[in-house]
């Protein structure tokens, strides 16, 4: 008999807690798969609840609504096998995959490896699975596991293959950071080669608070090659035909699985799901979507993360303080691409220190993007603030950074007042280089609801702006914005480099210290000046309190501030102190 399977990987954008909306997406995808005579359709991890549900998992009513939803879904599944991520309640709760066929849940797989690193904290909520099944579906043997399970070479997937599985389906919710997708594909390619098995990987897509999921679901052959890949950062239904006989042919010529098969004895349970049906379908040509370059990948992540945060939280418009600088220009461009120009509003707030060029650049940017703007000068407001404070509080004390921060706080107040009046979300414009060093004002330029480029180093900000202009075919972000020295313009002739090292020096030091946890001595050994390294480390460490009060922002690096990097504010450890 011809043993083939047609599978569909339903790469969808779910919302945490939206049980009705998530159910509708799942049922719609099942309907489309049935039209294409698909045998198995797989959905991402925790599709029913959305990912990650975090402490909603501590609410019994949330778990119950999730259970009701998976049973409602099951009632609508006919002659197709659906693999759906949900939270199983069985004395304790489990991160689970329901195997559904002919209107009932035939079996449930429980995730075995629960990650507790980086942004993950699954061991806080879930009990660990202990059972490893493989499923008989249409004459083929299929293993199902969940996300982290596939990252272990000797994990459930390998045992399932030793027990005869010809296809492993891994349902996942793997958050994006730049470079992760290539690493993930290489790792799963190795799993396919090592276990001589097809591996189908279905990933979540879309934004959830600080996380963004890139999709890019794919199929790997038993030889480790990519046979199909879904779109990046878009919903997609990837349909693929698999010939199970090719696994047998390969294994006949490679004795590894045969020699190790005893390792699976007594550990893997066989479950019958759906009977064999004669294959009489026209083949579907495999589709391999292109992998974008790094700037495009990051830009798309920022667009999707912004769009979903705004839309899923019900905001009609966003508000951005336009300074004529590179950061606010990039944030405005991202917002326009995410939401459309009619939902983006810019506010110019010039002071006595704002250059004519900055005003011109902000106005040109707004015109190029097609967004509405307001202008609220702060010169008189600042004068009144300053005079009242001098008269009633600090008298003849000399001016210092206080007056600079006061201007930023006036601007923050203006933005938050407009937000309050109209219900628009303020997008802050601080980048990772600034946030790392505390080169930002609490309740000033840090005031807002969402920090779009919070995890983007300044040097990458420039690369993304240049990329955006290239894609548009003209300088949407004015050329002068990209070439003039960056400045907060809070005092005469001010530039960022009055306070910070040049960004081409600063950013590699920050990457080493913040993202890679390298020691002071290691960073100096990389060729950086000792005093510069010490000064940067001091700035990073003493500004943890500011970052705790910053709005959430999109993770695009392996180590972002927030869930990724959690340090105590009260902390006497000094990395450069003598041991």
**Annotation marks residue 379 as catalytic:** no
C-alpha torsion sign, points 277, 280, 283, 284: negative
Asked about 296 being catalytic, the answer comes back as: no
d(CA 514, CA 510): 5
Active-site residue, 515 included: no
Beta strands in 22-180 (DSSP E): 40-42, 81-90, 92-101, 104-110, 132-137, 140-146, 167-172
| Residue 425: strand pairing partners | 318
Dist CA 180 CA 540 (whole Å): 26
The answer to whether 211 and 119 have CB atoms below 8 angstroms apart is: yes
Return d(Cα 547, Cα 438) in angstroms, integer: 8
**Pick the catalytic residue: 4, 23, 25, 111?**
111
Sign of CA dihedral 450, 455, 461, 467: negative
Helices 294-312 and 326-339: crossing angle, nearest 10°? 70
CA–CA distance from 507 to each of 41, 462, 494 (Å)?
A: 44, 12, 20
Distance CA 514, CA 533 (A): 12
Written in H, E and C, the secondary structure of 397-421 is CCCCHHHHHHHHHHHHHHHHHHHHH
From 4, 25, 140, 147, the catalytic residue: 147
Report DSSP letters for 205-272, one per residue. Answer: EEEETTEEEEB--EEE-TTS-EEEE--BSS-EEEEEEEETHHHHHHHHT--HHHHHGGGGTTTEEEEE
The gap between the terminal CA atoms of the chain, to the nearest Å, is 71
Among residues 23, 45, 364, 511, the one annotated as catalytic is: 45
Nearest one of 330, 268, 265 to 299, comparing CA atoms: 330
| Whole-number Å distance between alpha carbons of 362 and 32 | 46
Catalytic residues: 45, 111, 147
């Amino acid at each position: 008999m011809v043993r083939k399977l047609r599978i569909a990987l339903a790469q969808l954008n779910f919302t945490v807690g939206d049980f009705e909306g998530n159910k509708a997406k799942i049922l719609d995808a099942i309907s489309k798969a049935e039209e294409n005579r698909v045998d198995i359709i797989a959905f991402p991890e925790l599709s029913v609840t959305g990912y990650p549900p975090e402490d909603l998992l501590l609410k019994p009513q949330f778990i119950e609504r999730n259970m009701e939803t998976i049973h409602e879904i099951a009632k609508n599944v006919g002659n197709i096998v659906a693999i759906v991520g949900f939270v199983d309640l069985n004395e304790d709760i489990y991160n689970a995959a329901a195997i559904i066929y002919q209107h009932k849940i035939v079996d449930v797989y429980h995730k075995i490896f629960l990650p507790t690193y980086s942004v993950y904290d699954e061991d806080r909520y879930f009990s660990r699975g202990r059972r490893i099944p493989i499923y008989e579906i249409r004459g083929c043997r299929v293993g199902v596991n969940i996300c982290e399970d596939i990252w272990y070479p000797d994990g459930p997937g390998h045992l399932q293959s030793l027990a005869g599985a010809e296809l492993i389906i891994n349902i996942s919710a793997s958050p994006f950071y730049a470079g992760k997708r290539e690493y993930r594909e290489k790792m799963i390619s190795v799993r396919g080669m090592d276990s001589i098995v097809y591996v189908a990987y279905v990933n979540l897509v879309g934004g959830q608070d600080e996380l963004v999921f890139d999709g890019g679901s794919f199929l790997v052959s038993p030889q480790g090659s990519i046979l199909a890949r879904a779109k990046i950062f878009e919903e997609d239904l990837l349909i693929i035909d698999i010939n199970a006989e090719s696994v047998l042919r390969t294994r006949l010529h490679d004795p590894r699985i045969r020699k190790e098969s005893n390792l699976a004895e007594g550990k893997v349970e066989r479950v019958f799901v759906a009977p064999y049906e004669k294959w009489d379908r026209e083949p579907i040509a495999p589709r391999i979507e292109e992998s974008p370059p790094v700037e495009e990948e990051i830009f798309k992540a920022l667009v999707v993360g912004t769009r979903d945060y705004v839309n899923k939280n019900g905001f009609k418009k966003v508000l951005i303080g336009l300074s004529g600088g590179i950061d606010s220009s990039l944030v405005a461009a991202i917002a326009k691409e995410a939401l459309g120009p009619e939902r983006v509003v810019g506010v110019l707030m010039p002071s006595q220190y704002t250059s004519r060029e900055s005003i011109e650049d902000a106005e040109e940017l707004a015109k190029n993007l097609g967004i509405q703007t307001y202008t609220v000068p702060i010169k008189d407001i600042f004068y009144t603030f300053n005079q009242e404070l001098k008269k009633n509080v600090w008298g003849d004390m000399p001016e210092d950074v206080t007056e600079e921060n006061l201007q930023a706080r006036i601007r923050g107040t203006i933005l938050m007042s407009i937000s309050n009046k109209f219900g628009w979300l303020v997008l802050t414009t601080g980048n990772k280089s600034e946030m790392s060093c505390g080169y930002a004002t609490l309740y000033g330029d840090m005031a807002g609801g969402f920090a779009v480029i919070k995890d983007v180093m300044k040097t990458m900000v420039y690369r993304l702006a240049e990329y955006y202009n290239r894609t548009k075919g003209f300088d949407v972000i004015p050329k002068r914005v990209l070439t003039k020295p960056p400045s907060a313009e809070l005092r005469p002739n001010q530039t960022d480099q009055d306070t910070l090292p040049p960004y081409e020096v600063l950013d590699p030091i920050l990457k080493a210290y913040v993202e890679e946890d390298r020691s002071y001595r290691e960073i100096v050994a990389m060729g950086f000046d000792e005093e510069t390294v010490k000064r940067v480390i001091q700035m990073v460490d003493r500004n943890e309190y500011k970052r705790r009060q910053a709005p959430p922002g999109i993770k695009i690096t392996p180590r972002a501030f927030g869930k990724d990097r959690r340090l105590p504010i009260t902390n006497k450890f000094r990395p450069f102190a003598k041991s």
